[in-house]
């Protein structure tokens, strides 16, 4: 269960006193998630109930970055995107503290996350991602990625001597720890504000309709096509056997381009951008693999899932992005 900070009902009620949201009715820890503690909160006011998400930001999320993340939510929600707005305190503050940790109250959005997306759902996510990129064009703040490609390459180098403890194939797939990808990384593609972590569990849907884009805590300034490549790598492979699903991948790209067509340079860079996306998730999972106890409450994610996806993009090239 990914609740690291266990708040009592009294502590949650005291936290809510600063907000004009009514009285606490129920609070339940949310098991999903890795980095932060989340609670589903229900309040009542004038015999009407409301739901919110209370997030306690743990050590992995830099407190100085929180105004950027929370302001971005407000900006996108104001543009009509299916993004949860930040609930402000009566004094207009974006967040408070509980047990010495920064916390925020976020709007609850309906919908469920899909484990095995269908092409129509992937197309809707492509549209939503393009809408996000366009809506954020006038977002005035910027943030450098905390998981840029140079950082990820260094993370892998720091753990390279222990790759065999995970899987002997890991060193075979990335013997250079991603240095080759870094060497050829594009620097002149269109950039802007990106989500950079739009996995299926960060999208809420009702049928084929996207009702929520959530978990913006890796959002940053970056290459727009890289954000699409991250989403392609996260959505286009079967969970059971990691097999590529071309119909899903094609639908995602087609949906995105229906709102924001890619330039020839962006399309040509997608294979390398996808390798960089996979490299990032290999790097974070390798680091977490050695940092998380075997008997810990948080299940370790196997880096090989994205190592094999990296190898796929390297072998297939542009064919991975055509049907």
Q: Is the pTM of this model over 0.75?
A: yes
Q: What distance in Å separates the CA atoms of residue 195 and residue 202, rounded to the nearest whole number?
A: 10
What is the per-residue pLDDT for 98? 92
**Tens-binned pLDDT, residue by residue, of the chain (323 aa):** 355 778 999 999 999 999 999 999 999 988 765 678 889 999 998 888 999 999 999 866 788 999 999 999 999 999 999 999 999 999 999 999 999 999 999 999 999 999 899 999 999 999 999 999 999 999 999 999 999 999 999 999 999 999 999 999 999 999 999 999 999 999 999 999 999 999 999 999 999 999 999 999 999 999 999 999 999 999 999 999 999 999 999 999 999 999 999 999 999 999 999 999 999 999 999 998 998 665 545 567 899 999 999 999 999 999 999 87
Q: At what angle do helices 246-257 and 224-235 cross, to 10 degrees?
A: 150
Tens digits of per-residue pLDDT, 259-308? 999 999 999 999 999 999 999 999 999 998 998 665 545 567 899 999 99
Q: What is the DSSP string of 45-58?
A: ETTEEEEEEEEE--
Quote the tokens at residue 142: 């910027």
Helices (H), 160-263: 163-166, 168-173, 179-183, 224-235, 246-257
Ordered domains of the chain (ranges, CATH): 9-107 (3.30.200.20), 119-321 (3.90.1200.10)
Q: Is residue 314 helix, strand or coil?
A: helix
DSSP state of 120: H
DSSP state of 60: T
Quote the tokens at residue 275: 């390798």
H or E segment and range at residue 105: strand 101-107
Say if residues 255 and 123 touch (Cβ distance below 8 Å): yes
Q: What distance in Å separates the CA atoms of residue 205 and residue 209, rounded to the nearest whole number?
A: 5
């Amino acid at each position: 269960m990914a609740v690291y900070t266990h708040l009592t009902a009294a502590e949650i009620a005291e936290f809510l006193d600063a907000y004009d949201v009514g009285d606490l009715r129920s609070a339940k820890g949310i098991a999903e998630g890795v980095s932060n503690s989340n609670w589903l909160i229900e309040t009542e006011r004038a015999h009407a109930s409301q739901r919110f998400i209370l997030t306690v930001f743990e050590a992995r999320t830099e407190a100085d970055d929180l105004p950027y993340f929370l302001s971005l939510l407000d900006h996108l929600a104001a543009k009509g995107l299916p993004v949860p707005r930040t609930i402000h305190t009566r004094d207009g503050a974006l967040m408070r503290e509980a047990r010495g940790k920064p916390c925020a109250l976020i709007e609850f959005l309906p919908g469920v996350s899909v484990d095995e997306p269908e092409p129509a759902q992937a197309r809707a996510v492509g549209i939503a991602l393009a809408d996000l990129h366009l809506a954020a064009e006038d977002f005035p703040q910027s943030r450098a990625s905390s998981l840029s490609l140079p950082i990820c390459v260094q993370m892998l180098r720091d753990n390279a001597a222990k790759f065999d403890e995970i899987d002997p194939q890991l060193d075979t797939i990335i013997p250079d720890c991603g240095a080759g990808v870094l060497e050829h990384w594009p620097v002149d593609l269109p950039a802007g504000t990106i989500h950079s972590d739009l996995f299926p569990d960060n999208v809420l849907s009702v049928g084929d309709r996207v009702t929520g884009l959530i978990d913006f805590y890796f959002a940053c300034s970056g290459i727009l096509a890289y954000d699409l490549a991250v989403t392609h790598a996260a959505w286009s492979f079967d969970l059971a056997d990691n097999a590529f699903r071309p119909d899903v991948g094609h639908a995602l790209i087609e949906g995105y381009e229906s709102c924001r067509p890619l330039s020839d340079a962006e399309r040509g860079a997608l294979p390398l951008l996808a390798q960089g996306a996979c490299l990032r998730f290999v790097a974070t999972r390798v680091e977490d693999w050695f940092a998380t106890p075997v008997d810990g409450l948080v299940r370790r994610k196997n880096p090989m899932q994205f190592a094999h996806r990296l190898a796929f993009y390297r072998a297939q090239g542009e064919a991975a992005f055509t049907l």
